[in-house]
């Protein structure tokens, strides 16, 4: 009989059986702790997912057949997984350390360590996102890219927002699109992803997102009409808040009009009202705000009240506007500011409205709340006109304490003189002249009398200048409102600036730029100041460069524009642009303390912590304050900072 070599080999081998212990030891150890943890929780979905994972890692492994019953359900690491599920990571690490100290050979499950590290990274990312530290958010996700998944949309959205804030718009755009393409993301979550994308991406990228969705037919369960409304709101808001110079196109306005009077807080109707007011269509704006009035409450109601008051003021119905602002002044700082402005303008007019009960008291309270220089000055000049010199002197002094200018200083001298104290008035004048040299022309000729060597002149412009010097811009404007010529337009611009109507002032200055040398230079300078006041920094620089200006004026406008650009970029979360604007400004003039603080925070947000530490350390050594200590503590959280 023929026998195969294989059979012969087996036949001649000793009669021994394979050692099952050796076979078992040859298999790799499979960490089943997470599997048993999910089974103990009866979380069958997670159990199946864990079985698939373990089979991928260990092809020869088979899942226990009695996970949900019997002894195999017991998990020796159950308490550790419970701490993990409760986010008690500090206690979990302490328990692991305790067990290792008692048993040098014991090791926690590898998957538990991996999941702990990921959860800790996620927590750091969320904390950095809440603190608006975009660079730290990006650094966290680069440490563990597996955090980015449509299964965790909160993290995905936070990372996309951080990319957008740091200028990496392509990366942000791609992340926001991931949920839209995923089949297992709900329609509500897709809607939220689009809303976040439209809110944080640059406007051009938000438009591209909508156009892409329109071309592809949109995402399942997501209405393109809703996205169009989001984009129209974003465009209108950016334009109204001066983040965008271009008004919304007609198609965007039409979207808002179709959706007017719908949605919470009448948002679309209110935006249409603000757009109408920005365009000078005050009656249309008033109608829209009144439509919204009955349907809103809370912050939206305050916004509507502000819109109504401003529209009424634009229509020349100042008394009605003042009443709305006065009644709602505590609901919104802008309403309190408007109340102050309306009353101040009225008090400076030739015939102020009769004061009802409590009007001046409410006005004085608002002035103190806002520390309003214009309001304090208005009260001072009003008291001075009534020969209440004691009250006038006190308000002039208050205005100066809050940062008042030469007019408040002049009023302080005149009110003191009105009290009959020539010596005290002369002492005040002597103290003010170094700061305001032109006050040297103010001659004190006796109790209650004073004259300015620069006063005099004839004609409309001379009377307008006199009214302006008397802190009566409304009277000044009435005198030159219909006057022709470049000089009259220039005076009209200054009067409008004094009335805090910079957009109209810019138009007047623009008309005056056709005048001869000095008039043209002053008009260009005035237009620059008007543009700065409404936040249009680059237009301000352009106006200043349109006519040859003295070096100090060019430097003043450029440095103010760059400071404004830096602050706007910081508020928008664009920290590299903040630093670029500050660097350009520092080439022109020294950097003041407030902008150095801004630089320090921008450096922190861009990850330049060594440079930020130098800035905050220098400022803290010069004058330690809550702001400098907050910056240092941000750089070194262990640092203990005493509160003031």
Q: Tell me phi and psi for residue 76, to 5 degrees.
A: -65, -15
Q: Tell me phi and psi for residue 5, to 5 degrees.
A: -55, -40
Residue 221 has pLDDT above 70, yes or no: no
Question: Which one has a higher pLDDT value, 351 or 153?
Answer: 153
pTM over the 0.85 mark: no
Confidence (pLDDT) at 503? 82
Q: Tell me phi and psi for residue 364, to 5 degrees.
A: -60, -40
Across 388-544, the runs of DSSP E, i.e. the strands, are 442-446, 449-452
d(CA 28, CA 625): 61
pLDDT digits (tens, 9 = 90+) for 482-510: 777 778 888 888 888 888 888 888 888 88
Question: Which one has a higher pLDDT value, 3 or 117?
Answer: 117
pLDDT digits (tens, 9 = 90+) for 314-351: 888 989 999 999 999 999 998 999 999 889 888 888 78
pLDDT band at residue 391 under the 50/70/90 scheme: very high
Specify whether the CB–CB gap between 599 and 579 falls below 8 A: yes
Neighbours of 57 (CB within 10 A): 12
Specify whether the CB–CB gap between 556 and 576 falls below 8 A: no
Q: Dihedral (C-alpha) 236, 240, 244, 248: value to the nearest 10 degrees?
A: 30
Lowest mean pLDDT among 83-97, 367-381, 530-544: 530-544
Across 513-599, the runs of DSSP E, i.e. the strands, are none
Q: Tell me phi and psi for residue 443, to 5 degrees.
A: -100, 130
Confidence (pLDDT) at 415? 92
Specify whether the CB–CB gap between 89 and 117 falls below 8 A: no
What mean pLDDT do residues 285-291 have? 93
d(CA 380, CA 397): 9
Collapsed DSSP state (helix, strand, coil) of residue 442: strand
Confidence (pLDDT) at 388? 92
Specify whether the CB–CB gap between 298 and 267 falls below 8 A: no
What mean pLDDT do residues 90-111 have? 75
Confidence (pLDDT) at 28? 56
Question: Which one has a higher pLDDT value, 126 or 551?
Answer: 126
pLDDT digits (tens, 9 = 90+) for 506-530: 888 887 777 666 777 788 788 878 8
Specify whether the CB–CB gap between 444 and 426 falls below 8 A: yes
Confidence (pLDDT) at 543? 60
pLDDT band at residue 540 under the 50/70/90 scheme: low
Confidence (pLDDT) at 92? 72
d(CA 401, CA 395): 10
Contacts of 578 (CB under 8 A, 6+ apart): 566, 567, 569, 570, 598, 599, 602
As given in the structure block, the two tokens for residue 269 are 């109707």
Longest dimension (CA), the chain: 148
d(CA 254, CA 200): 23
Residue 630 has pLDDT above 80, yes or no: yes
What mean pLDDT do residues 398-405 have? 90
Contacts of 593 (CB under 8 A, 6+ apart): 619, 622, 623
Residues above pLDDT 90, as percent of the chain: 15
Supply angle C-alpha 115, 119, 121, rounded to 5. Answer: 120
Confidence (pLDDT) at 13? 38
Confidence (pLDDT) at 328? 94
Residue 103 has pLDDT above 60, yes or no: yes
Confidence (pLDDT) at 16? 38
Q: Average per-residue pLDDT in the chain? A: 79
As given in the structure block, the two tokens for residue 203 are 């406007």
Contacts of 161 (CB under 8 A, 6+ apart): 129, 134, 172, 196, 200
Q: Tell me phi and psi for residue 446, to 5 degrees.
A: 155, 175
Residue 71 has pLDDT above 60, yes or no: no
Confidence (pLDDT) at 312? 92
Question: Which one has a higher pLDDT value, 27 or 416?
Answer: 416
Report CA-CA distances (Å) from 21 to 25, 27, 63, 510: 6, 10, 20, 96
d(CA 629, CA 611): 16
As given in the structure block, the two tokens for residue 329 are 């002044």
Residue 452 has pLDDT above 50, yes or no: no
Specify whether the CB–CB gap between 632 and 616 falls below 8 A: yes
The DSSP secondary-structure symbol of 184 reads T
As given in the structure block, the two tokens for residue 432 are 């003010």
Burial of 146 (C-beta count, 10 Å sphere; 0-12/13-18/19+): exposed
Across 447-579, the runs of DSSP E, i.e. the strands, are 449-452
Compute the residue count for the chain. 644
As given in the structure block, the two tokens for residue 179 are 């949920």
Collapsed DSSP state (helix, strand, coil) of residue 78: helix
pLDDT band at residue 296 under the 50/70/90 scheme: confident
């Amino acid at each position: 009989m023929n026998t195969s070599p294989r059979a012969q080999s087996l036949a001649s081998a000793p009669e021994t059986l394979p050692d099952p212990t050796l076979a078992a030891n040859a298999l790799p150890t499979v960490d089943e702790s997470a599997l048993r943890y999910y089974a103990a929780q009866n979380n069958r979905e997670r159990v199946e997912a864990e079985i698939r994972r373990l089979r991928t890692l260990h092809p020869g492994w088979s899942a226990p057949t009695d996970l949900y019953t019997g002894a195999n359900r017991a998990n020796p690491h159950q308490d550790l997984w419970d701490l993990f599920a409760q986010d008690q990571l500090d206690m979990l690490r302490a328990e692991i350390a305790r067990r290792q100290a008692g048993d040098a050979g014991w090791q926690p499950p590898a998957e538990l360590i991996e999941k702990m590290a990921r959860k800790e990274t996620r927590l750091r990312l969320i904390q950095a996102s809440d603190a608006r530290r975009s660079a730290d958010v990006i650094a966290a996700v680069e440490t563990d890219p597996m955090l980015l998944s449509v299964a965790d949309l909160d993290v995905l959205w936070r990372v996309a927002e951080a990319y957008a804030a740091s200028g990496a718009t392509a990366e942000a755009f791609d992340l926001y699109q991931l949920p839209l393409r995923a089949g297992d993301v709900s329609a509500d979550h897709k809607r939220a992803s689009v809303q976040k994308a439209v809110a944080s991406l640059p406007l051009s990228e938000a438009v591209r997102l909508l156009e892409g969705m329109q071309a592809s037919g949109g995402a399942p369960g997501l209405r393109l009409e809703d996205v169009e409304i989001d984009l129209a709101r974003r465009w209108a808001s950016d334009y109204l808040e001066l983040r965008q110079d271009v008004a919304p196109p007609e198609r965007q306005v039409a979207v808002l009009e179709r959706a007017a009077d719908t949605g919470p807080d009448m948002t679309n109707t209110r935006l249409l009202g603000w757009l109408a007011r920005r365009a000078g269509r005050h009656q249309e704006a008033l109608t829209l705000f009144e439509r919204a009035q009955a349907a809103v409450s809370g912050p939206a109601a305050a916004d509507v009240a502000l819109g109504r008051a401003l529209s009424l003021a634009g229509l020349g119905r100042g008394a009605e506007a003042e009443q709305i602002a006065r009644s709602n002044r505590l609901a919104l700082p802008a309403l309190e500011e408007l109340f102050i402005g309306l009353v101040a303008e009225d008090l400076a007019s030739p015939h102020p409205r009769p004061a009802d009960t409590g009007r001046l008291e409410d006005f004085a309270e608002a002035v103190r709340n806002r520390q309003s220089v214009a309001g304090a000055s208005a009260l001072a000049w009003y008291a001075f006109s009534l020969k209440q010199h004691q009250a006038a002197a006190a308000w002039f002094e208050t205005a100066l304490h809050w940062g008042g200018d030469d007019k408040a200083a002049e009023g302080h001298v005149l009110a003191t003189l009105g009290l009959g104290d020539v010596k005290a008035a002369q002492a005040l004048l002597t103290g003010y002249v170094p700061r305001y040299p032109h006050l040297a022309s103010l001659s004190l000729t006796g109790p209650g009398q004073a004259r300015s060597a620069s006063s005099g002149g004839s004609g409309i412009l001379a009377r307008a200048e006199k009214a302006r010097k008397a802190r009566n811009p409304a009277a000044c404007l009435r005198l030159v409102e219909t006057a022709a010529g470049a000089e009259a337009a220039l005076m009209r611009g200054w009067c409008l600036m004094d009335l805090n109507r910079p957009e109209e002032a810019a138009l007047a200055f623009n008309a005056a730029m056709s005048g001869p040398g000095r008039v043209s230079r002053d008009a260009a300078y005035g237009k620059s100041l008007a543009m700065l006041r409404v936040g249009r920094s680059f237009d301000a620089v352009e106006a200043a460069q349109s006519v040859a200006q003295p070096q100090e004026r060019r430097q003043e406008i450029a440095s103010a524009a760059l400071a404004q650009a830096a602050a706007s970029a910081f508020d928008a979360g664009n920290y590299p642009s903040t630093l670029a604007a500050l660097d350009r400004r520092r080439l022109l003039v020294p950097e003041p303390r407030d902008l150095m603080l801004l630089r320090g925070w921008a450096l922190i947000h861009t990850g330049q912590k060594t440079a930020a530490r130098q800035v905050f350390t220098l400022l803290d050594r010069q004058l330690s304050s809550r702001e400098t200590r907050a910056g240092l503590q941000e750089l070194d959280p262990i640092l203990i900072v005493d509160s003031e």
